[in-house]
Amino acid sequence: MANLDRIIEPAGEIPVVRRADLVVVGGGPAGIAAAVAGARNGLSVALVERYAYLGGLASGGMVLVLDDMCNGEEISVRGLCGEMIDRMERIGLCVVPPESERRSDPALYRKWSRWGVFDFHSHVKPQPICYAAAFDPDGYKRVANAMVGEAKVDLRLHSWFSRAIVEDGRITGVVCETKSGRQAIMGKIVVDASGDLDVAASAGAPFSHGSYIVTTVFRLGGVDTEEAERFEYEQPAAFNAIDREAKKIMAGSWDKWWLKTPLPGIVWCNCPHMAGLDGISVEDLTRADFLGRERIAALVAFVREKLPGFEQAFVVDVAPQIGIRQTRLLDGVYVMSKEDVAQRRHFPDSVARGRDYYYPYRTMLPRDVGQLLVAGRHYSATSSAQRSSREIPPCMAMGEAAGVAAALALDANVGVDRVDVAKLQAKLRAQGADPGDRPASNALVSIAAE
């Protein structure tokens, strides 16, 4: 009897279009860093991205502040992320507060907080201005293109990963859907940087299914930001009443729902948030687009009428990618817990850092699948741990560690699970990254490796 729920796919042949030392799936922050690091360390690298541009949520999701890079005492994320910031600054598409202005001070808070460059985890009031970067999404794409191009990465845009090729328990390649049909790309090592764990899940690695709020980020143009800030600080009661109403219309936003960008008169809005949607469900993703746009239209009508500085505001764009923070999470060799993050637990095999927490190499290693590394927001963590350890800079740091680890594994002719972590840490440090091998003074230091 015919099965009404399923069809049987006919078997067929798929052309192999590329063989590389390293195949990276996902051209977001983690994937860019993994590909560039791998190539700079001598590997031939293929980078596969489903969309027409690099950057993932940083560009297509229009998440326009790089944060979680300092622990109150020192800068904790450097390396390729720092290079990207410097390069975007040089082309005028990134704003970073100068070192002399990074502290808690009411005047500095007024000057900088609408750039989103303050430490929002701090309990000090006003929250200190810190090392963080407000950037332009096209700037991120341009610099990513330049870095990938200079490193001679074989970038394959418009290629949608669909299936992992696994032989004898190890991944040997990936299949992509493209306009020219299915294509196979074979690699000695694969990095899953899809953000949704598409590759590891397809390869049979254990994972958990997390979820968190979903956001349709958008940008407004025609905003008189000076007037808006003057109103906020000089008429706080009137401002608060209007701001409260705006937030009600969005039915989900952070305290500062609009932030400045390097482009004059253009602000980005990290809202509206929507709960209860699954970031890998076609139906929910479609619903998020409709729901988000409805709320945005209502908000714009309201602020044009009521909010000083926003009288001429118009929608520049709604981010082409829905803001998905969390879906599948790797259930890897070590699973990061909320306590690990909150207590700033240091691990002897730390290979990347966020604000004040550390990522052990084991959180990038799947169980059961060889030659596969996982880097980015789907790393091995519980849902609650991931919520506070998934910002763009640490995802880039994880990607960078994965790229260098792949080079070390191939050089030593060992599996990625047998990489000499001390060598990996030393190499990352020599290349300008901070692997977190030296715990900061506020870290909780483990007695022994586990």
Ligand X SMILES: Cc1cc2nc3c(=O)[nH]c(=O)nc-3n(C[C@H](O)[C@H](O)[C@H](O)COP(=O)(O)OP(=O)(O)OC[C@H]3O[C@@H](n4cnc5c(N)ncnc54)[C@H](O)[C@@H]3O)c2cc1C
Contact residues toward ligand X (CB under 6 A) are 25-31, 48-51, 56-58, 61, 63, 65-68, 160-161, 193-196, 198, 215, 217, 270, 323-325, 376-377, 390-393, 395
Q: Output 71 or 194, the one with its CB closest to ligand X.
A: 194
How far apart, in whole angstroms, are the C-alpha atoms of residue 129 and residue 62? 22
> Which residue number, 292 or 439, has a Cβ lying nearer to ligand X?
292
Q: From the CB of 327, what's the least distance to ligand X, in Å? A: 9
CB of 390 to ligand X, least distance (A): 4
Nearest to 393 by CA among 96, 25, 45: 96
Nearer to ligand X, 109 or 160 (CB): 160
Q: What tokens were used for 374?
A: 């996982």
42 CB neighbour count, 10 Å cutoff: 11
> Which residue, 246 or 324, has its beta carbon nearer to ligand X?
324
Beta strands in 283-346 (DSSP E): 314-318, 323-324, 328-330, 345-346
Compute the least distance from the CB of residue 34 to ligand X, in Å. Answer: 9
- Measure the CA–CA gap between 110 and 96, rounded to whole angstroms: 15
Residue 377: CB minimum distance to ligand X, A: 4
Please give the residue whose beta carbon sits closest to ligand X in the complex: 28
Nearest residue (CB) to ligand X, 53 versus 310: 53
We find the least distance from the C-beta atom of residue 276 to ligand X, in angstroms, to be 16
CB 79 within 8 A of CB 425: no
Write out the E strands in 115-201: 133-135, 154-156, 160-167, 170-178, 181-192
Main-chain dihedrals φ then ψ at residue 30, nearest 5 degrees: -65, -40
Of the pair 353, 390, the CB lying nearest ligand X is at 390
Q: How far is the CB of 188 from ligand X (least distance, A)?
A: 20
Among candidate residues 198, 201, 195, the one with its CA nearest the CA of residue 161: 198
Min dist CB 347 to ligand X, Å, is 20
Q: Measured between alpha carbons, how far is 329 from 384 in angstroms, rounded to an integer? A: 11
3-state helix/strand/coil string of 107-133: HHHHHHHHHCCECCCCCCCCCCECCCE
Q: Residue 286: which residues within 8 A CB-CB, separation 6 or more?
A: none
Q: Give the other-Cβ count within 10 Å of 158's Cβ.
A: 14
In the complex, minimum distance from the CB of residue 116 to ligand X, in angstroms, rounded to a whole number: 7
Smaller CB separation from ligand X, 106 or 149? 149
What is the rounded distance in angstroms from the CA atom of residue 156 to the CA atom of residue 152?
12
The rounded distance, in Å, linking the Cα atoms of 348 and 358 is 10
How far is the C-alpha of 118 from the C-alpha of 97, rounded, in Å?
10
Q: Minimum distance between the CB of residue 384 and ligand X, rounded to whole angstroms?
A: 15
Q: Which of 242, 373 has the CB closer to ligand X? A: 373
Can the peptide bond before residue 308 be classed as cis, meaning omega within 30 degrees of 0? Answer: no
- Measured N-to-C along each axis, helices 29-40 and 137-150 cross at an angle, to the nearest 10 degrees, of 20
CA gyration radius, the chain: 22
Q: Which is nearer to ligand X, 172 or 270 (CB)?
A: 270
Helices (H) and strands (E) in the chain, counts: 12, 23
Residue closer to ligand X (CB basis): 69 or 428: 69
Closest approach, Cβ 217 to ligand X, in A, equals 5
